[in-house]
Chains A and B, each alone.
Chain A
Amino acid sequence: MSQSLPVKSIYSWVDERLGLSDIIAFAKHKTVPAHKHSFWYYWGGISLFLFLVQCVTGVLLLVYYRPGPEAFESVRQITYVMHFGWLIRSAHSWSANLFIFAIMVHMFSVFLMKAYRKPREFGWFSGMALLALATLFGFSGYLLPMDELSYFATKVGLQIPASIPWVGPFVAGILRGGPDVSEFTVERFFALHVVVIPAVFLPLLAFHLWLVQKHGNALPPSEEAKPAAQRKSIPFFPNFARKDLGMWLISLNVLAFLASVFPWQLGRQFDALASAPNGIHPEWYFMAPFEMLKVLGNILPGAAGEIAGILIFTLGIVLWLLIPFYDTSSSRGARARNAHYFGLAAIVLLIATTALGYWAVR
């Protein structure tokens, strides 16, 4: 090491108390498999990075954002008056969308590489919970500017929980803080967005990361089939960490490019008495369930359609969630193949219904 003396002595002072050398030695010992599907290993890290971006930009927005009746005005000031306020807001919104996109890529790659199998079941469950929370982050954050679009989209979006039989209207009422979306809703959503969801999300994320660290990266079946001598791996530190960092940098660039070139716009202030503008729809990650409910509603009119939609949708998610118990580490042949088809069908269904949804509101 060519470090100068003071750096060395500070390092050894800290090392003696915190055991840094042990951590580095451990990280160097740890390996990551290297094969043709390795690219998909980065998506969890990319999701984590985008989450960190949201934490930083979120705290900055928190300084100027005022929930309640002044919500729109404060976002207007951030977007059109404050120096680089637009950039922080734009980066926050874009990273939120990219975050959910990255988690989805991560989830489907985990699914198709069968990384949910023993002993990684808890990684799968906690990951699914994190995705659910991420969409709630998105849903609660979307309303906060209180412009025309976010107001009406939230109204439409709340139709999904409202259509749950028996408890739906009650849940939607609690979320709204009244019969309609109003400044009370913003205050509730704000509390959810910055306190409640993070309080659940952060420990869950820690649990998820601990599991990743504990079990390491899963090998896809094609690699597992190879004899151990033929499998390649690279050290986690510094080789994989360096590539991970490279991916983070590239993600940062994509984010910076989108945030600067297509800054997140702010519409007109909402007017509860005005009619909804044309083409109101939920955010893209809610488009699929929204469209599925709509299609089923057309086939089975009335409450029956809504209930059937919710049931089918819930059943789908439950099956998706329970896949580690169906396709276990010991299963070969039919079950493994069925799980694979199930994953592909889910991807096709998701893309098709999302496209259909956008086509319908175009």
Chain B
Amino acid sequence: MNYPFWNIPYLGSGWVIGIIAIFHVMISQFAVGGGLYLPMAERKALKEGREDWLKQLQVHSKFFLTITGVYGTVSGVGIWFAIGLTHPEATSTLIHNFVFGWAMEWAFFLVELATAAVYYYTWGKIDRKLHLTVGWVYAGASAATLIIINGILTFMLAPGDTWLSVAGTGKEASVFWHAFFNPTYWPSLFMRTAVCLALAGIWALITSSMIDGDEKPALKTTIVQWSVKWPMASFVIMPFAMIWYLFMVPSSQRALLTLGIDTIGQGTFSTVTRIVLVVIITSATIVGVAYQLGYKNPRDFNLGTAISILLLALMATGAGEYSREMLRKPFVVGQWMYSNGVRVRGPVRSVETYNRDGYLKDSMWVWGGDAATTSSYSRGEAIFRGECSSCHTMDGYRPVRQLLAGRDQQNITNFVKMLHDHKPDSPYIKYMPPMVGSDQDITDLANYLNYQVNPPGAAQQTVTRN
């Protein structure tokens, strides 16, 4: 047995990151968009002398501080734990490459947290103009965190030729700005900004829906209508930003989106097409519902509807982030590192070295000395964990047992060999990394898989005819 290992049955480790990240993105993008919403609303209130707005904004800023300062920060740290365990190699690449970027992110994050607290606790206690300035400082700092993280996230999809030319040489950080301002940087920033603005309005609808429309009709009407304008405006920009983004994505990755147009067959990577459909329909619905039930009918706008819109936004965000992650397949860092942490080329932990020396000699979760002495089954299991389990589980998400069902030992061996050979005409080459390792590794993995799919002792499935 090799320790430690990171094994999440049924759900798969990818989803551990996914669940935390989707939750985090919902809140962090609210933190950025809401950061602009608050001072803009405050400025409007001061300019137009709306005292009732200021009171409502105080309520909203408490909600804002709690949601972003508690749930946003905790889930952000959670992502680090999850990616460190699931993708140690990729996490290491990101840290080494963007040391300066992370430092900036951290600095702005501190400013963001501090000003959010100051903003809430100084309502009515400091000069109104100064209070508004605190709001603007928050808005600037939170926008900066997006501007930075966007460079790092988009880098993973399309690192750009300059970075790729020095990847693996140890001089990667010297081309920091090339990696940062990679081909998808601007369209992605544009798109994420639009999402942040939309979420600012959508979250604000939660607090404004709780205003009693019969008691304070003017306040409710104006604030609900003003909040609805945020997602409305953002959804006008969004389709254009999305098209621009897809245009900048490498064409091999873009092609992944079309795999599910004509099939739902298992193992064909058709899910991503379907998930993109969810993004489109939920986004369109948010606009429709927010306009019809919010803008046109502000006094009756209730918490139930506001929560429905928020849930739709959660669905759209989740589906959007999922699609973005899937667009990167078979890589975790585009053209450089496969989604199981194996490098495309280079002298360390790459396809070449693993094929030459065997996978277990330098695998992240295995003690090199043990590899040769354990059984074929244990070696196969270790290879499965290292090479397959960042995307597959045995019985849950992308279940290998089900995907290989009906194949016998020979057939499974041929399949593993096909993944190993990674020939250009293989249908899996578009979204699966090659299986790396020696001939012995192929045999060990195939043995292990065969044991799982066709357990010894289980009756061969026969079709009885009557």
Contacts and interface: CB of A to CB of B under 8 A. Distances in A.
A246 to B, nearest CB: 5
Nearest to A86: B264
B466 A275 contact: yes
Contact of A246 (B265, B277, B282, B289): B289
The secondary-structure label for the interface of chain A is helix
Contact of B265 (A80, A274, A275): A80
A87 B274 CA distance: 9
Given A253-B281, A275-B464, 13 more contacts: A86-B264, A242-B293, A243-B300, A246-B288, A249-B288, A249-B289, A250-B285, A250-B312, A253-B312, A256-B277, A257-B278, A263-B264, A275-B465
Nearest to B271: A261
Nearest to A89: B264
A275 B315 CA distance: 42
Interface residues of B, number: 28
A45 B274 CA distance: 27
Contacts of A314: none
B292 A242 contact: yes
Interface string B278-296: 1001100100110011001
B278 A80 contact: no
B285 A249 contact: yes
A260 B278 contact: yes
Interface in B244-286: 261-265, 271, 274-275, 277-278, 281-282, 285
B410 interface: no
Contacts of A112: none
A362 to B, nearest CB: 16
B463 interface: yes
Given A245-B292, A256-B281, A239 B315 contact: no
A261 B296 contact: no
Interface in B20-67: none
A86 B275 contact: no
A263 B266 CA distance: 11
B263 A80 contact: yes
Contact of A234 (B300, B463, B464): B300
A245 B296 CA distance: 13
Given A253-B315, A261-B274, A274 B463 contact: yes
Interface string A216-260: 000000000000000000100011001101100110110011001
Interface string A126-162: 0000000000000000000000000000000000000
Given A79-B264, A82-B262, A83-B262, A246 B292 contact: yes
A85 interface: yes
A260 B274 contact: yes
A85 B262 contact: yes
A257 B305 CA distance: 18
A238 B261 contact: no
Contacts of A284: none
B54 to A, nearest CB: 30
Contacts of B275: 260-261
Nearest to B262: A83
Contact of B274 (A80, A245, A253, A263): A263
Given A87-B277, A275-B464, A250 B308 contact: yes
Nearest to A234: B300
A186 B281 CA distance: 34
Contacts of A253: 281-282, 285, 312, 315
Given A249-B285, A256-B278, A256-B281, A81 B261 contact: no
Contacts of A90: 264
B315 A257 contact: yes
A273 interface: yes
Contacts of B92: none
Nearest to B258: A83
A84 interface: yes
A246 B297 CA distance: 12
A81 B264 CA distance: 9
Nearest to B304: A39
A39 to B, nearest CB: 8
Given A239-B297, A246-B305, A260-B275, A86 B263 contact: yes
A239 B262 contact: no
Interface in B408-459: none
A252 B297 contact: no
Nearest to A265: B264
Contacts of A260: 274-275, 277-278
B296 A84 contact: no
B234 to A, nearest CB: 18
- What are the nearest 8 A-B pairs in CB distance? A260-B274, A263-B264, A256-B281, A86-B264, A80-B263, A246-B293, A242-B292, A260-B277
A265 B205 CA distance: 39
A144 B312 CA distance: 34
A245 B289 CA distance: 8
B296 A238 contact: yes
A260 B292 CA distance: 26
A252 B292 contact: no
| Most chain B Cβ neighbours within 10 Å, of A81, A87, A253 | A253
Contacts of A239: 297, 300
Nearest to A238: B296
A273 B463 CA distance: 10
Contacts of A273: 465-466
Interface string B205-234: 000000000000000000000000000000
Interface string A69-104: 000000000011111111100100000000000000
Given A242-B292, A261-B275, A275-B464, A83 B261 contact: yes
Contacts of A249: 285, 288-289
A93 to B, nearest CB: 12
A95 B463 CA distance: 34
B314 to A, nearest CB: 12
B387 to A, nearest CB: 27
7 contacts: A80-B263, A86-B263, A238-B296, A245-B288, A246-B305, A253-B285, A263-B274
A167 B262 CA distance: 46
B323 to A, nearest CB: 12
Contact of A84 (B261, B271, B288): B261
Contacts of B292: 242, 245-246
Nearest to B293: A246
A274 B465 contact: yes
Nearest to B214: A232
A224 B262 CA distance: 54
B442 to A, nearest CB: 30
Contacts of A79: 263-264
A250 B311 CA distance: 11
Contacts of B263: 79-81, 86
Nearest to B312: A253
A32 B360 CA distance: 71
Contacts of B278: 256-257, 260-261
Contacts of A257: 278, 282, 315
A247 to B, nearest CB: 9
A310 B97 CA distance: 73
Nearest to B308: A250
Nearest to B261: A83
A273 B278 CA distance: 41
A73 to B, nearest CB: 15
